[in-house]
Amino acid sequence: MTTICFVGAGSVEFTHELLTDLLGFPALREVAVRLHDIDPERLATAEAIARDTASQLGAAPTVTTHLDRREAMQGADFVINSIQVGMHEATVRDFEIPARYGLRQTIGDTLGVGGVFRALRTFPVLDGIASDLLDVCPDAWLLNYTNPMAMNVGYLRRRYPAVKVVGLCHSVYWTVHDLCEIVGVPLDEVEYASAGVNHQAWLLRWERDGESLYPLLDKAIEADPELSRRVRFDMYRRLGRFPTETSEHSSEYVPWYLHSDDEIERLRIPVGEYVRISEQNLATYARTRDALAAGEHLPLEREATEYAPLVVHAMVTGEPVTIVGNVLNEGLVTNLPPDVCVEVPCVVDADGVHPQPMGDLPAHLAAVNRAACSVGDLTIRAAMEDDPAMVRRAVMVDANTSATLTLPQIWSLCDDLVAAHGDLLPPALRVPLTP
């Protein structure tokens, strides 16, 4: 029996989506589903979701719950990771403390000082997950959804090269989906390919019947000036390829926008957006918990299948599928560093995940990506080398932060975040370091 372990199953909305897709496959209706979370209430809610979903789909999975992660992972074939270390309280700290220095963020989960500290408090938990995996299910695939994606996958591949891990993110799919709606072309008639780094890959090819759809996008932008009042469209007009994450995300990965009041107004950038999203997630959890407790069914409508169920189905049945995956570069994108995590098309079949070589990115797009890669590289080095100064250097080279703050401010800000996050961080990195 195929065994799928959910680590961080208390992320209930996401767990619901994944289970709906997994159990919707006839070949996966009798899998073993092991749910793990450190919060007993959230774990109980996740179990209720699993049983409700199975009942509505007519599936018969074996569902068990586990507060002990190692127990949950024992003999698993797949481990799906969707943890958030520190939860909402840590997210608020990641926004409120930088804001005191005048540093603006929108999402704060991928780059910037928010992304760096999210990574640093996630790495110790990844150490435990990887160690357990290698001990109790060494052949399992780790399917990572936890952000910051590139830093987490890069860290795992450097520290635990024996772990079979791929990072999964739906940003490329939804980018193409939304662009197709703008130009009025059905998504199922389109072929596309992207490459770069997670949340900052580039739509290199977007075609119907062998013809590029970019000219239709240019016409749509010309016909609707409001489209140009979004960060991604502004970047596309200047860089020539569309970035594959939302304008909210994209605005904080580059030095051009968030330090400017005029640009924030021109491009309608929602500063602090993720705090609001996090609050909404708490409300969604409460509604889901209460609805299930009242005996209500959760809706099962899904617009697309998430990548993890596609990966599981392809490996179990041998029916190949192409997804977008986050993997160690190793020459896949030849003008990005070989030891960083890149996001490229991947073919998945019974033998595993097969990343597709993409060659060189256009030089200017690689230059933008390399800035993001540097932040991730230094953050990973800080953790692996127990070097608190490297934490500050990672933040120093971040595009948005360095465009906004002085070096003394950056070091002082890092001291404040170290103190605020406390024992969530690796022990060696918990020291103040302002000169």
Residue 245 has pLDDT above 80, yes or no: yes
Q: Residue 188: which domain range?
A: 87-107+168-271+306-429
**The pLDDT value given to residue 37:** 97
Q: pLDDT over 70 for what percent of the chain?
A: 100
Q: What is the pLDDT of residues 80-131, one digit of tens each?
A: 999 999 999 999 999 999 999 999 999 999 999 999 999 999 999 999 999 9
pLDDT value at 305 more than 80 = yes
Q: What percent of the chain has pLDDT over 90?
A: 95
Q: For residue 380, is it within any domain?
A: yes
- The verdict on residue 2 lying in a domain is no
pLDDT of residue 301: 79
Q: In CATH, what number is assigned to the domain containing residue 193?
A: 3.90.110.10
In a domain, 434, yes or no: no
Residue 321 inside a domain? The answer is: yes
Residue indicated by tokens 């199975």 = 54
Residue 229's closest CA among 178, 269, 172? Answer: 269
Residues 367-391 have a mean pLDDT of 98
Integer Cα distance of 2 and 26 in angstroms: 13
Number of structural domains (the chain) is 1
Note whether residue 335 is domain-resident: yes
Write down the mean pLDDT value for the chain. 96
pLDDT value at 32 more than 80: yes
Q: What is the rounded CA–CA span in Å between residue 141 and residue 325?
A: 13
Q: Which of 113, 121, 136 is nearest to 253 (CA)?
A: 113
Q: Phi, psi (5° rounding) for residue 358?
A: -115, -5
pLDDT at 58: 95
Q: What is the pLDDT of residue 363?
A: 98
Q: Could you read off the pLDDT of 220-234 as tens digits, one per residue?
A: 999 999 999 999 999
What is the pLDDT, as a whole number, of residue 93?
97
State the average pLDDT over residues 139-166: 98
| Per-residue pLDDT reduced to its tens digit, 119-145 | 999 999 999 999 999 999 999 999 999
170 is catalytic: yes
* Amino acid 215: pLDDT: 98
In a domain, 94, yes or no: yes
Mean pLDDT of 402-417: 98
Of residues 36, 66, 88, 170, which has the active-site annotation? 170
Say what the pTM is.
0.96
Q: Does residue 142 sit within a domain?
A: no
Average pLDDT of 411-434? 95
Q: Which of 9-18, 394-403, 409-418 has the lowest mean pLDDT?
A: 9-18
Average confidence (pLDDT) over 371-390? 98
pLDDT, position 422:
93
Decide if 371 is inside a domain: yes
